[in-house]
Chain A
Amino acid sequence: MDSSVHLDNVVMQFGDFTAIQKSDLKIESGEFFSFLGPSGCGKTTILNMISGFLDPTEGCVKIGGQDMAGVPANKRPTSMIFQNLALFPLMTVAENIEFGLEVRGVSKSERKKASDRLLELVALEGSGHKKVSELSGGQKQRIAIARALAVEPQVLLLDEPLSALDLKLRQHMRTELKEIQRKTGITFIYITHDQGEALTMSDRVAVMSAGRIQQVADPITLYRDPKTAFVASFVGENNAIQGKVERIDSGIAEIHCGELGVLKGRVQSSVAVGEEATLFIRPEHFRLQAEEGMLSIAVEIEEVNFEGAYLTLSTSTAAASKQNLTIQLGAHQYNDDLAKGKALSLSYNVSDAIVIGGDSNA
């Protein structure tokens, strides 16, 4: 069955405020798709448009190729897991799960069968008679998933469903969600402001900022080849160095970074000679020993943080501009020499650095 979701040039405005800028996006059938972005960027608004609680100001939402304009929320093949779960507190666990089937006129015995099967799926067999208030956070979470799956939706919408859980449970639920998605094969649209969550679970991720979709890509591409300065600094850690483009040659830009001299990196997008650009180098791409073809930057250690498996060094350049750079090293590289005040030469491969046009703060 085609359960793709197409946001066909949608715009969402509240009064004069544009919550979603014109976006065109196709989510494939059976895909685990995430929207990642900071609070207030419009993630919930997108889900509300897909589920029918909001009508886009312009454009339309298509599910399975069908235009959803005029189809009310209760007639759409979507099911949502709310940011605060929104379980019905006055109903038992089983009644919660069966609600969607009750609406569809399914007989009591069939409903019971379905809720038993779903409780088993979320590993909560035998809790059907319990009150919602008797459940722990993680259990409530799983009941919300079971309730949403009970109506056999084509598209499951998840609005930061794990944000209220503690770290351990969150990691556990990630694997469970992924597993449920694999078993059921339905389209998952997942919303989060946690990049770890988005990167580990998704087939593809859309990174959003202030109502605009910045980039849509699979997690590895997003990490390696961010297309905008926002994506480069929002997804993973990144060091940003401002400069002016001097030369572009077969995909490599040379940029003049003030007192740091000329640095190079792969051209990523909208870079033009003579204009401002930002060079991004991830902390793990710096080396302490220069190899053939690497570029180097002289710095001084400001702080050493030992974090278990790895080590981060905060450094700043000797130059008056005091450019801050963060470096990540494997824990095995630790030695007593690495202390505050020590001068280092940081080297990087040109292919690991990327250059994006414009000011990174823009």
Chain B
Amino acid sequence: MLNQLKARFGSGLAIGIVGMIAIWLIALVIMPQLLMVDYSFRPNLLPADIGGPKDTYSLVNYETLFSNQIHLKIFFKTIWSSVLVTALTLIVSYPIAFYLAKVATPQKAALCLLLLIIPFWINEILRTFSWYIILAYKGPLNAALLGLGLIDRPIRFLSGDGGVLIGMVYAYILFMIFPIYNAIESLDTNQIKAARNLGAGWIRTHWRVIIPHAKPGIATGCIMTFMLAAGSYAVPALLGSPGSRWFTQIIYNWFFEGGNWNQGAAYAFLLLVICIGFIALVMRVFKVGLGDIAR
């Protein structure tokens, strides 16, 4: 790469560009992460004690999570809920992606994509807050359901995990739709016709022809949605109730309320490990490689 850049920009500028990228990567991405990992293995000490005899490496910060039943429960609930969010988002997104890629005329597909994207020009907090309004106890959704006579008492959407799940599916749906849409789009329509022509019903056509082809897209969408959900802070903070706290909120508390960066770092690192494990699992299940996903 350096040689290509040299040929194009001359060696001075080339070294400058590569150097800047290197500095950016090292100073802003790698170093802080390593620092966090380093923090996570050290105790939380007064500034005076840092570097002193008490400053030794240990697994104490990690053990805290396993000895704190409440935190452990929230940790697993966060993972489980993120899996649920991913599954729900997939179920909602696949038909939309298929419709956009293979059913809609190009004009309609373009219009629909635009309509899907426009709400995402508004920032996440505002979008999430609008769900807070919609789902409120005296909000429009309850009013509509009451008006239609479908329920006779308003539902407390925001008291359990329901609000968080809905909010997250909405917040991350594009990250699922786009990879799947791209994958299905690249499938030769004659493949679908061939399956139909050989007698396959719609379910089998999807199961045997379309989904296998779209697998890398589905895997990418699932990984992104899971990572975003597991690492989400705004949605659970706004739509969650005290009973549906997210692990990120615990991490936040350690850092900014508990003032215990070392403890927070250990928690954050554990979440990262679980996320990487999830990626590996998804890739195993879908039998796709890193190359397929990056495509």
Which A residues have a C-beta under 8 Å from some C-beta of B? 51, 53, 72-75, 78-80, 82-84, 86-88, 90-91, 99-100, 103-104, 147-148, 150-151
B194, CB-defined interface residue at 8 Å: yes
Which B residues have a C-beta under 8 Å from some C-beta of A? 188, 190-191, 193-201, 204, 208-209, 212-213
Are A82 and B190 within 8 A (Cβ)?
A: yes
Please measure, in the bound complex, the distance between the C-alpha atom of A94 and the C-alpha atom of B233, giving whole angstroms: 50
In the complex, chain A residues whose CB is within 8 Å of the CB of B196? 53, 72-74
In the complex, chain B residues whose CB is within 8 Å of the CB of A90? 212-213
A88 interface neighbour in B197, B199, B204, B209, Cβ under 8 Å: B209
Please measure, in the bound complex, the distance between the C-alpha atom of A58 and the C-alpha atom of B286, giving whole angstroms: 46
Are B193 and A99 within 8 A (Cβ)?
A: no
Are A84 and B188 within 8 A (Cβ)?
A: yes
B195 interface neighbour in A79, A84, A99, A148, Cβ under 8 Å: A99
Given A90-B213, A99-B208, A82 and B193 touching (CB < 8 A)?
Answer: yes
How many Å from the CB of B292 to the closest CB on chain A? 12
Are B191 and A86 within 8 A (Cβ)?
A: yes
Are A100 and B191 within 8 A (Cβ)?
A: no
A100 interface neighbour in B190, B198, B213, Cβ under 8 Å: B198
Given A84-B190, A86-B191, A88-B209, A103 and B197 touching (CB < 8 A)?
Answer: no
Are B193 and A103 within 8 A (Cβ)?
A: no
Please measure, in the bound complex, the distance between the C-alpha atom of A147 and the C-alpha atom of B193, giving whole angstroms: 14
How many Å from the CB of B42 to the closest CB on chain A? 50
In the complex, chain A residues whose CB is within 8 Å of the CB of B190? 82-84, 86
In the complex, chain A residues whose CB is within 8 Å of the CB of B209? 88
Are B200 and A74 within 8 A (Cβ)?
A: yes
In the complex, chain A residues whose CB is within 8 Å of the CB of B198? 74, 79, 99-100, 103, 147-148, 150-151
Are A104 and B191 within 8 A (Cβ)?
A: no
Please measure, in the bound complex, the distance between the C-alpha atom of A189 and the C-alpha atom of B44, giving whole angstroms: 81
**Counting chain A CB atoms within 10 Å of each CB, which of B188, B194, B200 scores highest?**
B194
> Other CB < 8 Å A-B pairs besides A79-B197, A103-B199, A103-B204, 4 of them?
A80-B193, A82-B194, A88-B194, A150-B198
Are A53 and B193 within 8 A (Cβ)?
A: yes
Please measure, in the bound complex, the distance between the C-alpha atom of A53 and the C-alpha atom of B189, giving whole angstroms: 12
Please measure, in the bound complex, the distance between the C-alpha atom of A87 and the C-alpha atom of B194, giving whole angstroms: 8
Please measure, in the bound complex, the distance between the C-alpha atom of A101 and the C-alpha atom of B195, giving whole angstroms: 11
Please measure, in the bound complex, the distance between the C-alpha atom of A53 and the C-alpha atom of B197, giving whole angstroms: 9
Are B199 and A151 within 8 A (Cβ)?
A: yes
Are B194 and A80 within 8 A (Cβ)?
A: yes
Given A84-B188, A88-B209, A100 and B193 touching (CB < 8 A)?
Answer: no
Return the chain B residue nearest A78 by Cβ: B197
Please measure, in the bound complex, the distance between the C-alpha atom of A53 and the C-alpha atom of B204, giving whole angstroms: 17
Please measure, in the bound complex, the distance between the C-alpha atom of A99 and the C-alpha atom of B191, giving whole angstroms: 12
Are A86 and B193 within 8 A (Cβ)?
A: yes
In the complex, chain B residues whose CB is within 8 Å of the CB of A51? 197
In the complex, chain A residues whose CB is within 8 Å of the CB of B212? 90
How many Å from the CB of B212 to the closest CB on chain A? 5
Are B197 and A104 within 8 A (Cβ)?
A: no
Are B188 and A75 within 8 A (Cβ)?
A: no
In the complex, chain B residues whose CB is within 8 Å of the CB of A53? 193, 196
In the complex, chain B residues whose CB is within 8 Å of the CB of A150? 198
Return the chain A residue nearest B205 by Cβ: A74
Are A88 and B191 within 8 A (Cβ)?
A: yes
Please measure, in the bound complex, the distance between the C-alpha atom of A84 and the C-alpha atom of B25, giving whole angstroms: 47
How many Å from the CB of A249 to the closest CB on chain B? 55
Please measure, in the bound complex, the distance between the C-alpha atom of A51 and the C-alpha atom of B199, giving whole angstroms: 11
4 A-B pairs with the lowest CB-CB distances in the bound complex, closest first: A100-B198, A86-B190, A86-B194, A103-B199
Please measure, in the bound complex, the distance between the C-alpha atom of A72 and the C-alpha atom of B205, giving whole angstroms: 14
Are A73 and B193 within 8 A (Cβ)?
A: yes
Please measure, in the bound complex, the distance between the C-alpha atom of A147 and the C-alpha atom of B198, giving whole angstroms: 8
How many Å from the CB of A358 to the closest CB on chain B? 39
Are B193 and A104 within 8 A (Cβ)?
A: no
Are B188 and A100 within 8 A (Cβ)?
A: no
Are A86 and B188 within 8 A (Cβ)?
A: yes
How many Å from the CB of A300 to the closest CB on chain B? 52
Please measure, in the bound complex, the distance between the C-alpha atom of A261 and the C-alpha atom of B199, giving whole angstroms: 63
Return the chain A residue nearest B204 by Cβ: A103
How many Å from the CB of B194 to the closest CB on chain A? 4
Are A75 and B199 within 8 A (Cβ)?
A: yes
Please measure, in the bound complex, the distance between the C-alpha atom of A83 and the C-alpha atom of B212, giving whole angstroms: 23
Please measure, in the bound complex, the distance between the C-alpha atom of A79 and the C-alpha atom of B193, giving whole angstroms: 11
In the complex, chain A residues whose CB is within 8 Å of the CB of B199? 74-75, 100, 103-104, 151
Return the chain B residue nearest A144 by Cβ: B194
How many Å from the CB of A138 to the closest CB on chain B? 19
**Counting chain A CB atoms within 10 Å of each CB, which of B191, B197, B199, B201 scores highest?**
B197
Please measure, in the bound complex, the distance between the C-alpha atom of A79 and the C-alpha atom of B197, giving whole angstroms: 6
Please measure, in the bound complex, the distance between the C-alpha atom of A124 and the C-alpha atom of B16, giving whole angstroms: 60
Please measure, in the bound complex, the distance between the C-alpha atom of A279 and the C-alpha atom of B197, giving whole angstroms: 46
How many Å from the CB of B136 to the closest CB on chain A? 46
Please measure, in the bound complex, the distance between the C-alpha atom of A284 and the C-alpha atom of B101, giving whole angstroms: 53
In the complex, chain B residues whose CB is within 8 Å of the CB of A75? 199
Return the chain A residue nearest B198 by Cβ: A100
Please measure, in the bound complex, the distance between the C-alpha atom of A83 and the C-alpha atom of B213, giving whole angstroms: 20
* A–B pairs, 25, beta carbons within 8 Å: A51-B197, A72-B196, A73-B193, A74-B197, A74-B199, A74-B200, A75-B199, A79-B197, A80-B194, A80-B197, A86-B188, A86-B190, A86-B191, A86-B193, A87-B194, A88-B194, A88-B195, A88-B209, A99-B208, A100-B199, A103-B198, A103-B200, A104-B199, A148-B198, A150-B198
In the complex, chain A residues whose CB is within 8 Å of the CB of B195? 88, 99
In the complex, chain B residues whose CB is within 8 Å of the CB of A104? 199
**Counting chain A CB atoms within 10 Å of each CB, which of B200, B201, B212 scores highest?**
B200
In the complex, chain A residues whose CB is within 8 Å of the CB of B193? 53, 73, 80, 82, 86
